[in-house]
A and B are shown apart, each in its own frame.
Chain A
Amino acid sequence: MARATLPFAYAWRNVLARKLSTAVTLLCVAVSVMVYVVMVSTADGIERVAVSSGDPRNVVVLSTGANSAESSRLPPPSIPVIRHFPGIARDNSGEPLASVELLSAQELWRVDEAESGEGGRFTPIRGVTPSAFQVHTGSHLVAGRLPREPGEILVGRLLARELGGVGVGDSVRFAGRVHRVVGVFEARGQIFESEVWVELASLQTMLDQRDVSQVVIRAADPGRLPEWQEALSESRRVRVDVRLEPDYYADMGRGSRAFAYLGNLVGFLLGLGAIAAGMNSTYAALSGRVREMGTLRALGFGRGSVGAALLAESCLIGALGGLLGILLALFFDGFAMSLMGLAFELQVRPSSLGEGLALALAIGLVGGLLPARSAARLEIVDALRHA
């Protein structure tokens, strides 16, 4: 026999014929795919920022036992010891390349939002010295100037975008007072671009805290970094933990994997809902066409052919829903987001789109299997008698 399947037009027109149930199923599939792709892309965005952050010549010095800057407190006497540790690289003026930093997460509003109290977002505030721009390679001002007095701040490029285009001369509110933006900086897409940078001394006063969170230092000889890291960790003059800067940020990025798993889980759960909708729609299609299936069988189409026809309809809805979901997800491409105090750009990768489409096809396939099996099992005589 030439072909055992019905033409594509048969599936296509049947899908179009039941507009409402097709639209509902298609929407369910599209939402599942969109949510899956956006969540996976979010995880990718976080990981990309984390992985791109850190200079392989730098180490981060934290207080003993601290896992992150947020839980680290280095007392003032330890700072000169760290800054002048043998083997630290120096700038042209002979100053050690060491960035003494205090980190604090604060709820931040644009000034126009502050009155309503809505729209606040937890934002990392980094108290820094001018050395920060030398130690954090790639960070540089793209607008304005460095802060000179209390109440003046710099904002990272991504944070500025996420705040709706905050720029030099605008004001934001955090830690109970208004701060004026005097500069915007870039940092090659690194984690710092989602931060506010203020003068270290200003932040210490604001928080009434003399301790700092970390010192980021650059090794004069990056080839001997592991020994140097070990020597600093075992120094008797300070009690510190020392991490290579890229490793430190990569560990932060690992948290994004949980988000990717969550994306898979949410995609799976929404997918189950879409499968139920698809199955319901295909069963409804079958119940309205039992006699038609019987006729096709009488005309010579085998059990597999009529089952495949229904399955093709279900897969077609899945594929269309997948394409719609992908289109919706693409709207989020390049979207500036802030999550867990980290601002990043959501970039939808082609592989995520492929996974989304595969999810949609799987939904269509699984949703159509049982109705297709029922169609294939119909007895011709009974089907032809069906009202």
Chain B
Amino acid sequence: MTALVEISSLRKSYWRGQSEVPVLADLDLRVERGEFVALMGPSGSGKSTLLNLIAGLDQPTEGSLRIAGHEIGSLSDRALDRWRNRSIGFVFQFYNLVPVLSAFENVEVPLLLWPISREERTGRVTAALRVVGLADRMEHRPGELSGGEQQRVAIARALVTDPLLVLADEPTGDLDERNADEVLALMRLLNRAGGKTFVMVTHDPRAAAQAGRIVRLEKGRLVDEAA
């Protein structure tokens, strides 16, 4: 496998008034293509901050963060928007679907920024919804779907651009056990059969157990790795 995410000597601090609050310190991490990595750790350990940095939603204070060989910290705001649209798929804890749009339209949103025809867009969206098993519910709005179905729509939205990397922030945090299992099974399938690379933040050991590797963070430092 080749490295998709290469993080070295990464440091991230926030300023609270005059005092610097370190969140991540001297962090090194590699995620290979096709891996499914779970980031675990107590609240405030820096898991979500690390995920935001990998997504290009935030900038590191120091250090290097390369995704597929590109140093993303050097990209302009506009280039970063474009890079994120092309390279990253997001799955959020609360699904973050647009309530006034149907499942189909929600999945279509990232593709609106692509120079492709309506037919091609429709084909991609339909295929993504079929993969997550919601081809028959594509006209439903989020309010008409269960939590598990909404999260599957969100996964379809994350996949529709065929991104390099899918970042999932507590994807089962708002789901009951049965729906959580279905979503995790779907993610595992996409990773194993589809070769998608996943980095997932979770508190849930059952969810983490689905990953190929578990990375533990504590007080902004990597403390343990387990296969």
Contacts and interface: CB of A to CB of B under 8 A. Distances in A.
B98 A299 contact: no
Q: Which of A3, A9, A295 has the most CB of B within 10 A?
A: A295
B7 to A, nearest CB: 18
B99 to A, nearest CB: 7
Interface stretch (B31-39, B104-112, B128-136, B187-195): B104-112
Nearest to B90: A298
Contacts of A380: 57-58
A294 B84 CA distance: 13
Interface stretch (B113-121, B178-186, B209-217): B113-121
A299 B85 contact: yes
A2 B92 contact: no
Given A2-B114, A9-B105, A297 B81 contact: yes
A261 interface: no
A197 B116 CA distance: 76
Interface in A1-58: 1-4, 6-7, 9-10, 13-14, 16-17
Contacts of A303: 77
A301 interface: yes
Contacts of A296: 98, 109
B25 interface: no
Contacts of B94: 291
Given A17-B99, A299-B90, A1 B82 contact: yes
B115 A299 contact: no
B96 interface: yes
B109 A302 contact: no
Contacts of B52: 381
B150 to A, nearest CB: 13
A292 B96 contact: yes
Given A10-B101, A291-B96, A2 B81 contact: no
A384 B105 contact: no
A300 interface: yes
B100 interface: yes
A296 B94 CA distance: 14
B151 to A, nearest CB: 14
Contacts of B116: 2
B16 interface: no
B115 A2 contact: yes
B101 A299 contact: no
A85 to B, nearest CB: 79
B84 A300 contact: yes
B84 A299 contact: yes
A301 B81 contact: yes
Nearest to A17: B100
B14 to A, nearest CB: 11
A312 B153 CA distance: 26
Contact of B57 (A6, A16, A298): A298
Contacts of B85: 1, 299-300
B164 interface: no
Nearest to B78: A302
Interface string A236-252: 00000000000000000
21 contacts: A1-B113, A1-B114, A3-B112, A3-B113, A7-B112, A13-B101, A291-B96, A292-B99, A296-B109, A297-B81, A298-B84, A299-B85, A299-B110, A300-B82, A300-B84, A300-B110, A300-B113, A302-B81, A303-B77, A380-B58, A384-B92
Interface of B: 52, 55, 57-58, 77-78, 81-82, 84-86, 90, 92, 94, 96, 98-101, 105, 109-110, 112-116, 157
Given A1-B82, A6-B109, A16-B100, 7 more contacts: A2-B112, A3-B113, A292-B99, A295-B90, A297-B81, A299-B157, A301-B81
5 closest A-B pairs by CB: A300-B85, A13-B100, A295-B96, A2-B115, A1-B113
